Chain A
Amino acid sequence: MNRFIDLTLNGIANGAIYAAVALSLVLIWRATRILNFAQAGMLMLTTFVAWAIVDSGASYWVGFAVALASGLVLGALIERVVIRHVEGAPALNAVIVTIGLLVLLQAAAGMIWGGNPRSFAPAFSIKGYEIGGRAVLFSPFDLFTVLVVAGLMLGVTLLFARTSLGLRMRAAAFAPEISRLLGVRVGDMYTVGWALGSVAASLAGVLVAPSVFVSPNAFDAVLVFGFTAAVIGGLESPLGALVGGLVLGLALSYVSGYGGAELVTLGALGILVAVLMVRPNGLFSRAQARRV
């Protein structure tokens, strides 16, 4: 029973990270219908920037804020400068551009900071809570992670449902021509989508950085699992990203704990296939009315 509790809590903490990365992919997909493979590189870069700031003596929270701010700027910049040119093009072209960006960002980080992994401070203590007289696999930092990601989800959902910005973003994504006619600046909405997605990813980056040690390739696994979580949840809704992340995090924790660490990637494949067999567009996909 103790083991189950440990693995569940561990899975929730990991799942929150996957959910944040999944959310960033969902936001960008919803805005521009592009799968952003460069997300791992972008969040790696903003985490490095945060690390550099904290390493030079600033407080942790300054670094945290800088990471989010630079995520915002980086996302907007990349959308404006690079992605704008492939937004109408076939999906494959955008995929290749983002892959090229990923490779470039990782190489650039390697050139600037080298391959040595850096130590990144956690926001709060990593000592596990005492439950029933024993320390469980869940710490104040993990709780912070979960709460922040939940808050992010709530914020994004409210943004889309309640604000005019959210409405404009949704309009720009679903019906760009009509939106333009109605005065929505569609291009700006795309930029906002990328900026928000990038902020979500940067958040995931600083939250996971303490346990992966910051280096150019350290976030590859997080992207793979974040992508898997996004697909499980369905790329259409932030709630899907949250659920997908938690489901994946829990499942992989159980696989690792009861099966063995070498089964984790196979476990991810298994869960993904299982979900997609039943719901080909993810758990939270809308009903598809195209069966002939």
Chain B
Amino acid sequence: MSSSLPRHVAVAVVAGIALFVLSEQLSAYDNLQLATMAYYFVAVAGLTVLTGQNGQISLGHGALMAVGAYATVKIQDAVTWPLAAVLLGASLIAAVAGALAGAAAARLRGPYLAGATLALAVGLPALATRFSGFLGGSNGLVVAPPVPPRWLGATFPLERWQAWIACLAALVVYVLLANLVRSGYGRAFRAVRDDEIAAQLSGYRVARTQVVAFVASAACAGLAGGLLVVVTSLAAPGAFPLSLSVTLLTGVVLGGSGSLAGAAWGAAALVLVPTWADDASKALSLSSNVQANLALAIYGVVLIAVMLVAPGGIQAAVRRLGALALRTAQPHARGSAPWAHQEEKPS
């Protein structure tokens, strides 16, 4: 599979250039939205590998983001490392947490895994109030935002710098995960997902594969938590409620479970759908009860509608549209082009 790495890097480079150009055009607040999408992508991509590629449904990744976020703040308090090293450290700490959780979860399937991870999502942030001296209690911890380097100019907007950091991290994660998915590990993930017994008979070590998938997704969640600190300058238990974990899962499925492009769609949807819904509700002059809840109601309807109408998520819908477009563009080639019958591989 050595040919796939250059391709993934090329995609990342092109996307990077596009994002760079985009960030120059956007206002400060919109750069903040872009940065938010980027760290959602990191978390959702990791989760989609775990859930879509490996079949483990986790409702606890918000807690792993919390681990990464708090680790980022504590590391920055303790040592003055460059930001990349801090984020790497936080990601590793979250990976360790993921190894523990994954080992505990390796024997669990389906709803039992969902229940265990849900309890994790609800229980873990409580550690912050239990150890309020070290972890800041319910107020949480605040850090200084990352300062753009001087050579960018004194007036370089902070939000654009935050967007750059988050997008760069997202691109790195994309390359790594894309490679992981195409590698032997990826095959192991999918083999275990599709038929555990057959995989075991074929020599795959099921528990080990489950744990590896969990660790990879936990590392991503931890990095996303660190990026959350970079973007918002905070780590507090109120920022990691159960709804965050649930939101990540909805992002996975909205975008298209198992695919990294789907993770990008999902991350975009998680940021944009509430924004559009909020703008829509403000445009109509409604009673305050209705207005406050409209964005949530719209989000709920979107989730249900997408699952009923396009269960493969946005990515599958895009792919279908793309195939339709290509088929209408080349009607004489129908059935003869080799790629028309190629099995859809997630990428």
Contacts and interface: CB of A to CB of B under 8 A. Distances in A.
Contacts of B294: 107, 111
Contact of B57 (A92, A106, A231, A281): A92
Contacts of B246: 37, 99
Contacts of B254: 96
DSSP majority for the A interface? helix
A29 B114 CA distance: 13
Given A224-B118, A231-B111, A272-B115, A114 B307 contact: no
A275 to B, nearest CB: 10
Given A97-B307, A265-B126, A110 B289 contact: yes
B126 A82 contact: no
B119 A228 contact: yes
Interface in B261-309: 289-290, 292-294, 296-297, 299-304, 306-308
A276 B257 contact: no
Contact of B114 (A95, A106, A281, A282): A95
Interface size class of A (residues with CB under 8 A): 35 or more
B253 A262 contact: no
A80 to B, nearest CB: 13
A96 B197 contact: no
A182 interface: no
Interface stretch (A43-51, A83-91, A145-153, A205-213): A83-91
Contacts of A264: 126
A96 B303 contact: yes
Interface string B240-262: 00100010011011100100000
B108 interface: yes
A105 B293 CA distance: 10
A155 interface: no
Contacts of B307: 85-86, 89, 93, 96-97, 100
B122 interface: yes
A45 B193 CA distance: 37
B311 A86 contact: yes
Given A100-B307, A235-B111, A266-B127, A273 B118 contact: no
Contacts of A102: 300
Contacts of A231: 111-112, 115-116
Interface in B294-339: 294, 296-297, 299-304, 306-308, 311
A265 to B, nearest CB: 4
A23 interface: no
DSSP majority for the B interface? helix
Contacts, number: 155
Interface hub of A105, A107, A220 (most chain B Cβ within 10 A): A107
Interface string B121-165: 011101101100000000000000000000000000000000000
Contacts of A220: 242
B292 A224 contact: no
A76 interface: no
Given A86-B308, A96-B250, A266-B126, A227 B300 contact: no
A277 interface: yes
A280 interface: yes
Contact of A111 (B104, B111, B249, B289): B289
A228 B246 CA distance: 16
A263 B130 contact: yes
Given A95-B57, A103-B296, A266 B123 contact: yes
Interface string A65-92: 0000000000000000010011001111
B116 A100 contact: no
A104 interface: yes
Nearest to B296: A107
Given A96-B253, A100-B304, A103-B296, 16 more contacts: A89-B311, A91-B57, A92-B51, A97-B304, A107-B293, A110-B289, A110-B292, A110-B296, A262-B126, A263-B126, A263-B130, A265-B126, A266-B123, A266-B130, A269-B120, A272-B116
5 contacts: A95-B57, A96-B254, A104-B300, A114-B289, A235-B112
Please give me the 9 A-B residue pairs with the lowest Cβ-Cβ distance, nearest first: A100-B303, A104-B300, A231-B115, A269-B123, A103-B300, A107-B297, A107-B296, A110-B293, A100-B304
Interface of A: 29, 35, 37, 82, 85-86, 89-93, 95-97, 99-108, 110-112, 114-115, 220, 224, 227-228, 230-231, 235, 262-270, 272-273, 276-277, 280-282, 290, 292
Interface of B: 51, 57, 104, 107-112, 114-116, 118-120, 122-124, 126-127, 129-130, 197, 200-201, 242, 246, 249-250, 252-254, 257, 289-290, 292-294, 296-297, 299-304, 306-308, 311
